[in-house]
Amino acid sequence: MELRRGASFSWERFEILGGKILKAIEDQGQLIANLSVQGGLSNNSTNGHPPEPHDLHVDETGDEIEAHSRKDVLSTPITASDDILKWNVFPVDKPIRTLPASVFSAKMNPYSNEISHPSPERILELRDIYLSKFEPLTPFVDNEMFDDLVLEVLRDGLKDSVSSCFVLSIFALAAIWGNYPEDERRFTSNADNGSPTRTVTVPEHRFKESSIYFAMAQSRMSYALQDDSLLGVSCYCLMGSWYWYNFEPVQGWKMFRTASMLWETYHQKQTLGGSERSQQELSLEQRLFWTCMKAECEMRYELPNLPLCTLQDSQFSFQLPSFPSEAPTSRLFVCHARDRRNCAPTAFYYFLAEISLRRLLNRARNAATKLSPNLDSSGARMVAEKFTQLEEQLQRWLECLPPCLYFNLPPDSLPSEAEPELVKLMRERYVEVRELLCRAFLYICVHDHATQLTIPQRRLYGAKASLGLRLNTYRIETEKPFYRHCGSWIACRVRFNHALCLLAAARAKNLDTESTKFIEIPINWQDYVIKVKDRLDTWSDQGGGIEQLSVTLSWLASQSF
């Protein structure tokens, strides 16, 4: 199926293709689990059908495939920045911590005591900004309910209620949001010497309006906390997104953590009550479950000392999130209905595909816990086989993407100049997983000082590690580093990790060990490290420990160049 502008859209076909996207990795994962245990296909698998539950075997750790797909892990040697800095090619003593204590404190809101009463025209503008710029990226809001609440505000004004908290949270996000893919750097005077410096600080008019709305929403948070519907869950997800946009990662995590708690209490109430709910409400419950869980897990990728997400142990069964069969709207907003219908399918496909990819990422992180600096040839072979299986699952996922999410395949092809934002995000998610799978082989090669790998292993693992290094430079080169979004803080740390991988490979090559002879480092790798350093310097005034990353990278680069 191909989605063309102006073409009619079949929701029945959406359900079919959506299911295909999400099941691609699941079926492949079950099949590979059977192959690894049995050494062959089960009866069901030979007929081209996924294994039945009673045929599903467990892997070598004793956990079922679902547990590895759903559950996060405490930490791995190849994910978070501080874990990579522990690789034995880096000095034990570092000049500075990459995460200062200030990250755990909230920034002061200079407009916390101000109140705004936006005009009807501005309210409608903020509504349109949210629906066109933010909602397609994270469709966890019931748009029909949102329109009803906007009408309520237009008619009766803002109140001390959960509904006004919800609307104000959306207004706060809409007011601060930029225009994709604009480079948001600008010059500002240095406070110390008055010289111009580049910054990505949010322009004052956007920041002020947004901060006022956010403070007004905060004053109504108690209503959201007491709410026993999904509206309170949505409020905290929106607030978490706002904090992330403003480089307050831990404050954002606290909001999503609370949202998870509210979702769990809502789900328990509905389970015990047994009342019949609309398909619209069931859809929202599913989407908020995945939004909360993936938000918590994503933050733990870089801050592994945070507690695990409780939703991963929820009794809420894994199922395909559904979406409304049409784009309902009130009469006031009828002129916008066609635009929403046209953009909705791609956003829904992206949401489903990203869920599936994140489940694969969890499997990769679980596999990475088996990595050790002291792996012998046999242990390395077992870990390598697992990561090779994950590569096959990733390929299967790629083959099931709908045409509207197709992208030029990295690292050999650069993205198209007119690449839509959702396609860009899908491509970057794919590269994130593929590079992590290659990073495992870089880790094995870098730590094989005892020359325990066989020559065929060194050759194979070196080739995979080399591909990972190419993917590192690809991400650094192709990203839009100065367009601000909710993931900008994490993106800074991820790019720091990519620079660390390049530095680790170069330092290991200088040691001239047998296991690094087959690793090929990009010729101009130093230029990419410098690009990351420039990026971190530009973002450093936003807080969140970015300045500390810049200092650490400069220190390592000075020893390696």
Percentage of the residues of the chain whose pLDDT score is greater than 90: 73
pLDDT at 341: 44
Residues 6+ apart with CB under 8 A from 100: 545, 548
Give the dihedral of Cα atoms 5, 11, 15, 17; nearest 10 deg.
-30
Please tell me whether residues 340 and 361 are part of one structural domain. no
Q: Is residue 472 part of a domain?
A: yes
- Judged against a pLDDT cut of 60, whether residue 503 lies above it is answered with yes
Q: Is residue 410 part of a domain?
A: yes
How many alpha carbons lie under 13 Å from residue 356 in its C-beta half-sphere? 30
Q: What tens digit of pLDDT does each residue of 354-408 get? A: 999 999 999 999 999 999 998 999 999 999 999 999 999 999 999 999 999 999 9
Q: Phi and psi for 187 in degrees, rounded to 5? A: -90, 145
Q: At what angle do helices 546-560 and 488-510 cross, to 10 degrees?
A: 20
Q: Is residue 440 part of a domain?
A: yes
Q: Is residue 89 part of a domain?
A: yes
Residue pair 126/135 in contact (Cβ under 8 Å)? The answer is no
Q: Is residue 245 packed enough to be buried (19+ CB in 10 Å), middle (13-18) or exposed (0-12)?
A: buried
Q: Is residue 13 part of a domain?
A: no
- Judged against a pLDDT cut of 80, whether residue 115 lies above it is answered with yes
Copy the structure tokens of residue 426.
């899908």
Please tell me whether residues 263 and 134 are part of one structural domain. yes
Please spell the DSSP secondary structure of 327-384, one letter per residue: ----GGGGGGHHHHHHHHHHHHHHHHHHHHHHHHHHHHHHHHTT--TT--HHHHHHHH
Residue pair 483/425 in contact (Cβ under 8 Å)? The answer is no
Please spell the DSSP secondary structure of 100-157, one letter per residue: -GGGGSPPP-TTTT------HHHHHHHHHHIIIIITTTS--S-HHHHHHHHHHHHHH-
Least confidently predicted of 17-26, 282-291, 307-316, 427-436: 17-26
Average pLDDT over residues 266-284: 91
Residue with tokens 């869920």: 355
Please tell me whether residues 286 and 333 are part of one structural domain. yes
Domain of residue 147: give its range.
Answer: 111-346
Domain boundary among 292, 316, 346: 346
pLDDT at 3: 29
Please tell me whether residues 321 and 427 are part of one structural domain. no
Q: What tens digit of pLDDT does each residue of 3-60 get? A: 233 333 444 555 555 556 555 555 544 443 343 333 332 333 323 332 232 332 334 4
Please tell me whether residues 526 and 377 are part of one structural domain. yes
- 539/526 Cα distance (integer angstroms): 20
Please tell me whether residues 335 and 384 are part of one structural domain. no
For residue 325, how far is the Cα from the chain centroid? 26
Q: Is residue 230 part of a domain?
A: yes
Residue pair 272/305 in contact (Cβ under 8 Å)? The answer is no
Q: Is residue 380 part of a domain?
A: yes
Please tell me whether residues 69 and 215 are part of one structural domain. no
Domain boundary among 318, 346, 374: 346
Please tell me whether residues 70 and 121 are part of one structural domain. no
Q: What is the largest CA-CA distance in the chain?
A: 75
Q: Is residue 181 part of a domain?
A: yes
Domain boundary among 312, 346, 380: 346
pLDDT tier at 513, thresholds 50, 70, 90: confident
Average pLDDT over residues 147-161: 97
Please tell me whether residues 98 and 115 are part of one structural domain. no
Instruction: Give the count of domains, the chain.
Output: 2
Please tell me whether residues 86 and 160 are part of one structural domain. no
Please tell me whether residues 128 and 174 are part of one structural domain. yes
Average pLDDT over residues 120-125: 98
Which pairing describes strands 196-199 and 186-189: parallel, antiparallel, or unpaired? antiparallel
Least confidently predicted of 43-47, 166-170, 218-222, 255-259: 43-47
**What is this structure's pTM?**
0.88
- 147/499 Cα distance (integer angstroms): 45
Q: Is residue 460 packed enough to be buried (19+ CB in 10 Å), middle (13-18) or exposed (0-12)?
A: middle
pLDDT at 67: 75
pLDDT at 60: 44
- Judged against a pLDDT cut of 90, whether residue 353 lies above it is answered with yes
- 423/350 Cα distance (integer angstroms): 8
pLDDT at 450: 65
Please tell me whether residues 97 and 115 are part of one structural domain. no
For residue 211, how far is the Cα from the chain centroid? 25
